Amino acid sequence: MKKCKYKITSGLTSVILSFVLLAVFVGLAVWFHVSGNDAIIIGRILVIFGLLAFFLALYRALFFRVLMDKDGFFFQTAPGNGRYYSYQEVRRMWISSGKETNAQQMVYCNFETTEGRVMRFFFTGADQDAVDYLMKRVEAAETPDSGQEKDDGRDLVISGKVQSGARIAAVIFIFAIVLLMEKALASEGLPPVLYILPVVMAAVAVALVVIHSLCYQIRIQKDGFYCRTTPFDGRYYKYREITDCHLVEKEKKFGSALKGTRETRYFYYFLFTDGDNRTHRFFYNKALFEREMKVLISRIEQARGQCQ
């Protein structure tokens, strides 16, 4: 590509910090082992967590990059999937944001190609100038039929597969840690009743995340939308049959403020009432699918207006 005007990369800071953390955990594990400390199992678990954090940071540093020049940008998130897009190939670009369940604010830059493929990447305040430049170049290349602002009735999909790989890897990793602890407790001669519950809970967590990835789908079409959140509740709803709908943001606090364990989590739902006067709701990730939900609301309101 031509001379790079702006670039967004992960950088080496996270790699260095995670390496230092890993070194500390390895040192603790070695000390526990040499001293015969009973906390050796904790040291091993910390080393495993440190290795995971280090390799994730290294992976992102090696393979994530957005490189921009005056005619287009190169986008890569994994080995072998890098591609250069001219600005004329991008139909629309938008920013979506929302708080995760851990209250962390997540901001994504999303873009849809002329082929209808939607991609996105997370960015921080340090990359705001680069994202602003990218969006201005896309806007400057806008054609009359690009649909930058107008809803052209195309299908939009909210899928559980988006970023599911990281979630599945995380819960499987936690499950492996629980099994490791179970083995250590079993070797101490403790009865299974003391550690079987965490194993069951971890296994259920793995199953739920996998089911969500495979089954969760909201397909927003021209005249209605298909909604499926479990393997058995898939149903198609026509927009003109929806009598009421709105987005809900819930804030829940967990833990104790006195003990310093209080934390706030955020949950986003779409509530709607169908033609049978039954109220339904489904959870969605606002940071990832803010635009799709706005389009869904808009199409429902437009259909209701035409029926009145």
Q: Which of 122, 13, 125 is nearest to 58 (CA)?
A: 13
164 pLDDT band, cuts 50/70/90, is: confident
**What gap in Å lies between CA 3 and CA 74, rounded to an integer?**
12
Per-residue pLDDT for 260 more than 70?
no
- Evaluate whether 6-159 and 217-308 have a shared fold: yes
**Average of per-residue pLDDT across 165-185:** 82
Q: Looking at residue 251, what is its pLDDT?
A: 84
* pLDDT tens for each residue of 29-88: 888 888 877 667 778 788 888 888 899 899 999 999 999 999 999 999 989 899 999 999
pLDDT at 256: 65
pLDDT at site 211: 94
Place of tokens 């910090």: 17
What predicted TM-score, i.e. pTM, was given to this entire model? 0.78
DSSP codes of every residue in 146-214: S-SSS-----EEEETTTTHHHHHHHHHHHHHHHHHHHHHHHHTT--GGGTHHHHHHHHHHHHHHHHHHH
Asked whether residue 149 carries a pLDDT value surpassing 60, the answer given is no
CATH number of 217-308: 2.30.29
- Domain 6-159 grouped into CATH 2.30.29.30: yes
**In the chain, where are the structural domains located?**
6-159, 217-308
pLDDT of residue 1: 60
Q: How many other C-beta atoms lie within 10 A of the C-beta of residue 5?
A: 14
- At 191-244, the pLDDT tens digits run 776 668 888 888 999 999 999 999 999 999 999 999 999 999 999 999 999 999
